[in-house]
Structures are given as structure tokens and as C-alpha cells.
Amino acid sequence: IVSLVGSNGAGKTTLVNLVSGYLMPDSGKIIFGESNITYASAYKRIKIGVGRSFQGASLFENATVLDNVRTPLFSRYGKIRKGLLPADGYTDVTNEALETLNIFNIPDKKNLSPKDL
């Protein structure tokens, strides 16, 4: 989805809630790519790339920009971390996080605190 536009009450939030699994439909199917995700768990949805973030997103101010970008990737890769331990050794996660920083033209800021951006 690039954009979801509509007047108040048009169903934008309801659609996002249905696709993300926050709500279950009364009827019909939710198809993502080739997969029927109508009743898929949040974990399964995340594994295939369907996720949701809320507007009130928070950053870990005591972590680096790179760690803030890496953190949500762990669930998609099916990896478990306890707390904010160093993520060294997770090459796939780190590489994707670095690609994301490149997209936003800030790879040189990876070791900064988010408050210094």
C-alpha cells in the first residue's frame, strides 16, 4: 500500500485492522500475495511481511540508530533477543538495517543516538 485515503468513517482504520489481524472479518477472505491470511496469527503475518505500526512509535534513545532499525527486524527473521543486547552476529538483520539506512541516505549516522538525528 502506497497510500490509503478516505474521509472520516470511510473504513481506513478498519481495513488496516483487518489486514493486520487486529480484527477478524465477519465474512470474506484476506489474501496477501498467494496466501490466505484471513485467520493467520500475527506471527505468521509478520513472517510474510504483513505488519502494523502505530503512530505513537517510540525510539530507544539509549541505543544507536542502527539498533533502532534492527530491532523490529528480529521478529521478521524469527530471531529472539533478550532486551537490547548487542545484535552482533546477526548478519542478515544487520545487512537489511544498513540497506534501510542507505535508502534514507543516513548510513553515516548509524552509530548516533536517535535524538542526534
pLDDT at site 60? 86
Please list the rounded mean pLDDT of every run of 10 residues in the chain (117 residues). 86 91 93 93 85 76 91 74 61 92 95 93
pLDDT at site 115? 92
pLDDT at site 85? 55
pLDDT at site 80? 63
Annotated domain spans of the chain: 1-41, 65-116
pLDDT at site 64? 93
Residues in the chain: 117
Please report, to the nearest 10 degrees, the dihedral formed by the alpha carbons of residues 73, 41, 16, 55 taken in order: -40
Residues 6+ apart with CB under 8 A from 85: none
pTM, 2 dp: 0.53
